[in-house]
Structure 1
Amino acid sequence: MKWRLTGRYLVSVVLVVILVILFNMLLLLVFYSFQASQNGASLSESDRSLDRFTRGFTSELITDNGQIKVTEKGRKLLEEKKAWVQVLDETGKEVYAYRAPEGVKKKYTPMEVVNMYKYKEVDVYSTIFISEKRIGEVKYSYFLGFSNDYLQRFIFTFDVRDMWERFKSGSSLLLLVDGLIALLIGYVFSRKLTLPLNQLIDGIKRLANKDYTLHYQPKGIYKDVFFNVNHLSHQLQTIENERKKLDKMREEWIGNISHDIKTPLASIQGFAEMMKDPDYSFTLEEMREYAGIIEKKSLYMKDVIEDLNLSTRLRSTNVLLNRKKVNIVALARKIIIDLLNDTKYAHRNIDFQCDEEVIYLEIDEILIRRAMTNLLYNAMVHNEEDVKIAVSIERKEHTHIRIKDYGKGIKEEELAVIFDRYYRGTNTGESHKGSGLGMAIANDIIRAHGGEIRISSVIDRGTTIEIQL
């Protein structure tokens, strides 16, 4: 686009220059013709060439037995030039002629010789050039006549003062006309240049005012600019839609988090008020039961707050990884054992497979444990209790950790947002409420290690999560 715009600008400048030059040439031609019609004109280049030819023709005049004549070469030159020659003696009488037309005088007075040179001879329709040659003591004059309808001769006389006045007035007129031509072409070009620019400026103002509905027809020298503005408008519209969607998800998420925190907080507050009320008398067993409930609710709230804090740190890249060499096979096996040792998940079916017993990775053990625990936990709480979960580790160019369940699966539209911070799966029941950051935290931890995490799912056939480290 920049080259096209620059090219259009250069073409317009060159066009202005060419038109001005052509107009100036036209004016000069008109002025020259006018002067010629008034006072005659100077010799043209053709005139000067024929004048030199005439002076050089003396070498072609020779004497033979006391008679002057033209050499054979001279005759051929005259035929090529479509010219004729007439030689006069000192008295102006013809002594020799070659190809001279009928009607040419045989004797001339000095005044007639001058007129023959200055003006076109009416009777012979030729332009006459005159020269002379001395042979011995005799001086001969000769006419060379050229029969060319396009060859004209005029006498140009002028007054320097008059010419200066004409030059001043002509220059002023010329500058005025040249300026008008440049102004006209500049106006046409500026219209073509500024009209689409005004449209673009208006479009940018609309974009600044969050009006992303504009669409231009890409054409002209700003074709690429219009195309990019359309693309920008589409991108901004998409971003705006995503922002609104994210804002809605965040509001719902904040509402859910607030509700999830208020519920255990209400329990803690209620039991605390009962325990401090002197009207109530509790047994030691009841006090321990209430204390256990308070502790459980407190731990739940602590987990939610820690999730929020960890998610923020991961997203702001403020987490310093405590990398060390860890056997990922042993770590994965221990995570599965710890989950199955929890009484809530003791009856779950988790299968672990790995062809190697030792695969070392430079990782932050605590964060990787957290990520794998979140993914396994997600597979369990979003499926039926008897769902089969398979965990496998394979070492290729990179280490691949695969977590596959054969449960309900995830809808396609949910896969795109499964790792978003504010997404909470629709399969989550009342007993599985939490921060909703588990999958997002797992994704951020893997990416903080320079790895990748991918998810695929088929409804009623299960979900597969693959981690590459």
Structure 2
Amino acid sequence: MKIRHRITNKLFAWYFLLVLIFYGTILVFYVNVQKIMSISEDIVNKNYKISSSSKKMIEDLLNMEENEQKYRILKKKNYLDYFINAQKDFETNLNEILQLKSNKTLISKDWIELDNSYRKFLNSLKDTKEADSSELLWVPEEMINEWIQRISKARLQNEHDVELATRELNHQGQMTVKSGLIGLGVSIIMGLLGSIFLTRSMILPIRELQKGIKSIAKESLSEQIRIRAKDEFGELAAAFNEMTFRLKEEERMRSDFISMLSHETRTPLTSIRESVNMIVEEVMGPINDRQRKFLEISSSEIGRICDLMNHLIQVSRLESGVIKIQPYPLDPSILVSKCRYHLKPLAESNDITVKIEISRDIPLVMGDPENLQQVILNLMGNAIKFSPRGGRVLVRVEPDENIQMLRVSISDNGPGIPEEEQSFIFNKYYRAKNVRNHSDGVGLGLSISKHIIEAHNGTIWVKSALGHGSTFEVRLPIA
């Protein structure tokens, strides 16, 4: 139960990591954007206001000084009004700058000193007795120059603050882009690594399972699949190996039983066949024609059963490796010609033409003549048996120079083998569906042939199309 959801846990961990990186990147973006917004807000609400108001204040002080001089010369009341309006504008702009301090915004101490100086000047006016009110309104030129100097100094400080804020703004922008690129890069790398890891952790076990399943289809149950993963694939591999072990044990017991049964049955069958032959030969007394006919039929059927038992024993020995192949150089043309000679009566009885095409200067092959003759006889016999009456069987013998092998192909114009069944025809006891009801046999010939050819380090396969005949090809190593 602990490992049932391991694959789900891997997927969830990978997804969680990607989400964590994604939202981490978003968080960094958010923090940097907040800093940028804060700096921008300071520039707009503080520095820009100070710059604008300080410029107006200098203009107001200059207007005050100008209108004072014009009033002293021309004595027109309009200039007095202009002076008073400029002074009010000066106070308004100064109060706007000082208002920033009340909003917990840091401002230069020059503005506070300017405000103190200006308030001190106003208080000095209130303490003075009224003599000539028009004279008392004027601000001394030295005082105005001092205030202008203070404002100019504060403006320079404000411009310096704007420059620093702009640099910080640029730095934060670069940091935002950098963090975004880093987050994107990490996300891509983690996504790729996670995909590779998850794909590898799933594809490799699936391939091993696929390999194991194919081995079962090929009747190769000797190897167990190796999956070290401690997840569902590990459990599946363990179950598959257990199933393979049981199948192998059952196959071993079945082979042992068939081998034992064949051995135990072959001896009494041989005795029965010899007894029947002795009766047919009238060793034990004369027999009539009717008795001879039935005895010959019995002898033929007993011979067929003995051949079946011999095939079963041979398959068992081939699978267990008891039969040893003793190869030596032999001429394939002689081997094929000898097989045609043995099958000539069968071909003539079915009106089948057997044609042999042998290339010039074919090399010798390494093989056991008795076993190879059995393979060629089996393939040629099948081709004759499944060809229609009046058909033709073609046997080609030619070298395959590309891979240093000799190729023997046997073609017929029989019913053919369906494509979906071609991978099974070399299995024991398998017979194609379209011939099961039309021919005798138990499906051991091709299995025996395959074992013999593979024991010679060769290959055998079939090319066939339904309704267009079949071609069996054998490749054997050149001597």
Give your verdict on TM over 0.5.
Answer: no
Of Structure 1 and Structure 2, the greater helix share is in 2
Higher relative contact order (CA 8 A, sep 6+): 2
TM-score calculated relative to the size of structure 1: 0.42
Of Structure 1 and Structure 2, the greater strand share is in 1
